[in-house]
Structure 1
């Protein structure tokens, strides 16, 4: 039995109990959670039935939130907005229910073509979410509202809030995903800048090759010393390469602990990997997975800039990885932009064009396409700025 089936069985058992008890607050709580589960499964009739069966009076703000979520999932956005607004006006609404209502209301506004109200509502929701103690409880809502997340990541005012929210969720999920035998949990950022975090504290390295070596071994375990030297430090030769190799390994062990690196094989031909108890949460692995799934919102949140931008190593592996990731995220954005234009969603197309040009600001074709879209939906000031940027690149 999966988690949803277990939850449904538990709620149905609870439903029988509260019907016998005739306790109003317990009936409301059960009606909300059972209705929410049914509507997520597109069992909308059953969701509506349970709301009226358990709480026929329907005056509780939590029931208004439930109706709003049900209507939003049935694409009845005007009715959804009305239900959420009723819930949010009630002085009885609790903080968690208010936050969920704001998130889903922002999506309903957006789908109802009220972008201004959507942005204002979402900003309130994200500010509340960032200060909430139990943030992980809202992860299912963020996962469900993918269009809203993507819009926020593309919007210059909302993106800092949404990026921070997704970062915190990633950290919380990373702890959950770590194997039970984990002795050392490292979070490694390579996009936009190099950073290694151990137990919530950033570790600073003096050698440029230290983070590079850590990342490479996480992706390519059982590498030989020759593999590492020729792939990561090709500009160093002979004794110089050996000295640098030993210095890097020494720094990694001093800063992270002796168990971070492991050696297999014979002393004459050893192979290196991370220690058996080391779990590395690596951003480019999450980025590649997001791109494989077509999860543009997650990919945008992860792609903070080029791969190891401050690396001074003359490494083809670094250059090739950097270009591969840049190319893949650009292709994903271009694909989404084309779909947005085909569906007539020109505001989203413009946001996607702006995001694309942050990655490749000199792409003449995209600069031209942005001007074409902006002529139809942008303000005169923004259109003028886009035209100037195109002219600057083509003159």
Structure 2
């Protein structure tokens, strides 16, 4: 039986699907489910909930899990968990794996806390109890369910679904402080999701990468990932990704202490979060605003009445957070109470937050709350409690991979750490922590050297006047230790020796002028002097990113990086032609292999997208049109078979 709209859904054409089916009265269960799933992509939750509930009642298995996702996205986590618990025994195949994956994401929701051993209930409205018994970390429960779902999909050969689970596993690793494992999982997931018709999972992976690089302090990687994300946000069905990006922007401003930018970001994001009925986004935005107000504090010369109004504004902001059991809310309530010297409220709130973060397996959040708790003890002049708290926290802080977040913590608690230096038991750890923060502060932003389809050296968004020197940069990157004669013959083989020598000298002078005197280093005797790039400034080449994508078989990343031929404005030198041929040949081989893989899975939609992307990179290729014709013929056979079935 032909299901109307199925082809449009598989191609990610959600607007076309809704145009075809929305408002029709003769829809069957599967078609109702497709309409609801498309509406979910556009965050039209009320309509999606109605259509998916009708489809589930009519027996569509797809609808049961998607209905639970609507409940999850609108903050009804308890209801979503109960619905999945009822549905899971009857689910089979892909839907069972997707239900397990959604259960994993429920474990990661900040409003979900592990129950204490012994089943002691947590009543609605009750104060958080820091002395509740320890329970298994929620991240461990989430990882268990995610691994089961991933194994389920891999056994069934469902690569895209397994990629989505890999993103969730990466989020678990990121929350648990293992940034290296999180990056590996995200890179692996993107090799699959970059060609998926639904841009939502890919957007989620890119957002996590931005968050990861920002915590690590790698601004160049952040910018490269943001560039890729901005292109994705222009696609249909990415409204939830756009909101998540705005929320992340606000949190990045809070991390960097850019309070004016934080105000701008939250003012723009709050109306969208409210219109999409997203309580998690609303909560994160209000928490970020409250964090900014706490960190800025009242003006130094403010009258007492102004200070009271300032603290009242913080309390009002925190009251707008819709997730009452979110430990991030408890932590900020404690921090706000500390700033107004209400230690009777600050200590229990921070103890509750620290305990909840520990049980949930979130070390960065736990240690941030632990430092605030130590500051409370210092304000209460309880030296023993402060020392005990810092003795437990400082060694773990040094093991954090989130280097930028570590620097922010040190700056926020500078006075506390200076006082701790007076204690010989704490001084070595405090000094090591200060050194780590200073290293982060002195970190130099790498420069991007773009050689594929363009010739530029970029410092953030600024283009340096080095276009004619880029070939020399690229050559020394690929051939360090070359003599001046080697460089002349490679870069300017068609010029007279004097003109070639002059061009090389001008390029070296330009590099040293813009990048520093040590940008190009020399060694050896004068007549046989050898040249190589210096360690500073730090340079990152797009050719290295292309090589990495090719090595990882990441076809979408490779197509994104490959913007055109190597050094397009430098027509001299056999080494340039050889480099162009090698890069294009490797990219073409990867594209052909990926197309073959998609065709073996009858995934002709992705095969066509990959082929069309490659044709934009190399319009003169003679094989790509033949591949596209082969894909078209294959898709027609599949559609005819589906129609006859």
TM-score, normalised to structure 1, is 0.57
Identify the residue that residue 205 of structure 1 maps to in structure 2: 465
Q: Conserved in 1, the CA contact under 8 Å of 2:220 and 2:445?
A: no
- Bigger drift between 77-86 and 311-320 goes to 77-86
C-alpha distance in 2 between matches for 1:216 and 1:149: 34
Q: For residues 185 and 103 of structure 2, what CA distance do their matches in structure 1 show?
A: 20
Paired residue for 1:151?
Answer: 195
Residues of 1 paired with 2:590 and 2:609: CA distance? 14
User: Structure 1 residue 204: deviation in Å?
Assistant: 1.8
Q: State the 1:189 CA deviation.
A: 1.9
Query: 1:228: Cα distance to partner?
Result: 0.8
- Alignment partners' CA distance in 2, 1:184 and 1:376: 48
Are residues 1:294 and 2:294 paired? no
How far has the Cα of 1:245 moved from its partner?
1.6
SS across alignment from 1:358: helix
Q: Kindly state the Cα deviation for residue 362 of structure 1 after the two structures are TM-superposed.
A: 4.0
Unaligned segments of structure 1, at least 5 residues: 1-58, 126-133, 379-395
Residue 318 (structure 1) aligned with residue 335 (structure 2): no
Q: What displacement does 1:87 show?
A: 8.2
- Give yes or no for contact 1:209–1:313 (8 Å, CA) kept in 2: no
Equivalents in 2 of 1:364, 1:162: separation in Å?
Answer: 36
CA deviations on 1:175-206 (whole Å, 9 max, x unpaired) are 99xxx9987833222112223234x3534225
1:350 Cα deviation (Å)? Answer: 1.7
CA distance in 2 between partners of 1:283 and 1:259 (Å): 22
Larger radius of gyration: 2
Inter-partner Cα distance in structure 1 for 2:186 and 2:508 = 40
Could you tell me which residue of structure 2 aligns to residue 354 of structure 1? 612
Q: Which residue, out of 270, 294, 300, partners 2:529? A: 270
> What residue in structure 1 maps to residue 453 of structure 2?
192
- Once the two structures are superposed, the pairs formed by residues 364-375 of structure 1 within 5 Å of their partners are 364-375=622-633
Number of residue equivalences: 292
Tell whether 2:338 aligns with 1:79. no
Equivalent residues of 1:260, 1:275 under 8 A apart:
yes
- Does the aligned pair in 1 maintain the 2:194–2:202 contact within 8 Å? no
**What is the aligned partner in structure 2 of residue 331 from structure 1?**
589
Distance (Å, rounded) in 2 between the aligned partners of 1:191 and 1:197: 13
- 1:197 and 1:203 in contact (8 A); partners too: yes
Q: Secondary structure at the match of 2:446?
A: strand
Task: Report the 3-state secondary structure (helix = DSSP H, G, I; strand = E; otherwise coil) of the residue aligned with 1:268.
Answer: helix
Distance in 2 separating the partners of 1:326 and 1:292 = 14
Question: Does the aligned pair in 2 maintain the 1:330–1:359 contact within 8 Å?
Answer: no
- Which of these residues, 282, 305, 311, is aligned with residue 564 of structure 2? 305
SS at match of 1:304: coil
Are the counterparts in 2 of residues 252 and 260 from structure 1 also a CA contact under 8 Å? yes
Decide whether aligned partners of structure 1 residues 293 and 228 sit closer, same or farther in structure 2, where only a CA change above 3 A counts.
same
Give the distance between the partners of 1:83 and 1:166, measured in 2 at CA.
21
* 2-structure distance, mates of 1:327, 1:163: 29
**8 A contact 2:455–2:470 mirrored in 1:** yes
Say whether residues 1:285 and 2:544 are aligned partners.
yes
Structure 2 alignment gaps of length 5 or more: 1-75, 113-138, 169-176, 223-400, 402-438, 637-645
- Aligned residue number for residue 36 of structure 1: none
CA drift at 1:145: 1.8
Distance 1:162 1:323 in 2: 35
- Secondary structure of the 1:308 match is coil
| CA drift at 1:261 | 0.8
With 262-271 and 186-195 compared, the bigger mean Cα shift is at 186-195
1:254 aligns with 2:513: yes
* 1:35-50 matched pairs, under 5 angstroms: none
Instruction: Check 1:166–1:305 CA distance in 2 against 1; reply closer, same or farther (3 A cut).
Output: farther
Change (3 A) 1:141 1:93: farther
> 1:355 Cα shift?
2.4
| Matched residue SS, 1:197 | strand
Deviation of 1:231 (Å): 0.4
1:345 aligns to 2:603 (yes or no): yes
Is the counterpart of residue 241 in structure 1 residue 500 in structure 2? yes
How large is the Cα RMSD of the aligned pairs? Answer: 5.2
